[in-house]
Amino acid sequence: MTYHLSRNGQPTGTCTKDEAIARYARGEILPTDLVWAEGMANWTPAAQVFGAPAPQPPPSPATPVPPAPAPVTPLPAPRPGGDAGKPANSLVWAILATLLCCLPTGIVAIVYAAQVDSKWNSGDRFGAETAAKNAKTWCWVSLGVGLLVNVGFGIVYAIMVSQAIATGGGY
Amino acid sequence: MAALAAAITLVHLLGARPPAWYPPCWFHRATGLHCPGCGSARAMHALAQGDLARALDQNLLAIAMLPVLGAWAIVTARRVWRGGAFSASLPGGWAAAVLVTVVVFTLLRNLPWWPCTLLAPE
């Protein structure tokens, strides 16, 4: 069973149940952190999932540990399968690169964007993150080559036009 | 938004014919084939002139993607406005659909027979 964790509305990763219990006991997971796992209706504070917080050695005996602030924006309940922590697939950039940069590299970015979701859904977290990185990289490659080629064409164009004007030829 | 409106107005005022300085597609120059983006600049130009038919004729895919990108822009703007994180992601499964669409579109618009020729830009 995979536990999805979040703090202050931001996903902080996933781990197994045993890991989560151990990290909760060590104080790495706060009682106010939200937890969600398959079968749970909603994100739930860790204190409700794992019981009362384990006694922590206080930083100084005189000052009580202030309670951690409640999460500002609770995450929406994830759909079955769990999208919390899923890497961004950058599909918007990939589409724009394909349509605007006029490059086959945009299609490569879309291929990787598709892999992000398929790998994530098959439980391959590492593969999904690698694909997300590749998708982003190829969007940048598209933008870079697109700019380079178009500026290059622009310069060649400008030279052609200025020569045509200089020689008085009909352009 | 203001920049977008200004750009559309400028393109509208520039006249009915796309000016020659629009960047040409190097892929088309090099191979003679139409890439999936070929004609998208002309399509946007036609759209700014209010000529939807010519826009669709230049690049059907680019026009079809506009509502998708527009919806993404609105949803993302609202999320960021409410303190959420910016994300260029679209829902899972869309990427595969987009990939199939782009590949099929690219193949079809390069076939020399009617009605595939309708998909090619001018």
Residue range B55-105, pLDDT digits in tens: 888 889 999 999 989 999 999 999 999 988 888 888 877 888 998 999 999
- Phi and psi at residue A72, to the nearest 5°: -70, -55
Rounded CA gap, B120 and B113, in Å? 11
A82, two tokens:
């769990």
| Residues of chain A contacting residue B82, judged by C-beta atoms under 8 Å apart | 73
Instruction: Tell me what pLDDT residue B20 has.
Output: 54
| Whether residue B49 has pLDDT greater than 70 | yes
Query: Among A99, A101, A160, which would you mutate to test the B interface (most chain B Cβ atoms within 10 Å of its Cβ)?
Result: A99
DSSP letters for A39-82: T-SS-EEHHHHH-SPPPP--SSSSSPPPPPPPPSSPPPPPPTT-
Q: What percentage of chain B carries pLDDT values higher than 90? A: 13
Question: Following CA atoms A92, A95, A96, A102 in sequence, which dihedral angle do they give, to the nearest 10 degrees?
Answer: 160
Pairing of strands A34-37, A10-16: unpaired
| pTM of the predicted protein model | 0.59
Q: Which residues in chain B are contacts of A93 at CB distance < 8 A?
A: 88
Q: Of the candidates B37, B87, B98, which has its C-beta nearest A110's C-beta?
A: B98
pLDDT by residue for chain A (171 residues), tens only, comes to 788 888 877 788 888 888 888 888 888 888 888 888 877 777 888 887 777 765 555 555 555 555 555 555 544 444 445 667 788 888 888 888 888 876 678 888 999 998 998 888 888 889 999 999 999 999 998 888 888 887 887 787 778 777 777 776 544
Rounded to an integer, what distance in angstroms lies between the CA atom of residue B44 and that of residue B31?
24
Contact indicator for A113, A89 with CB cutoff of 8 Å: yes
H-helix or E-strand spanning residue A17? helix A17-26
CB-based contact (8 Å) between B86 and chain A? no
Residue of B nearest to A157 (CA): B21
Of A88, A110, A118, the CB nearest to B89: A88
The interface pTM score, or ipTM, of the predicted complex is: 0.76
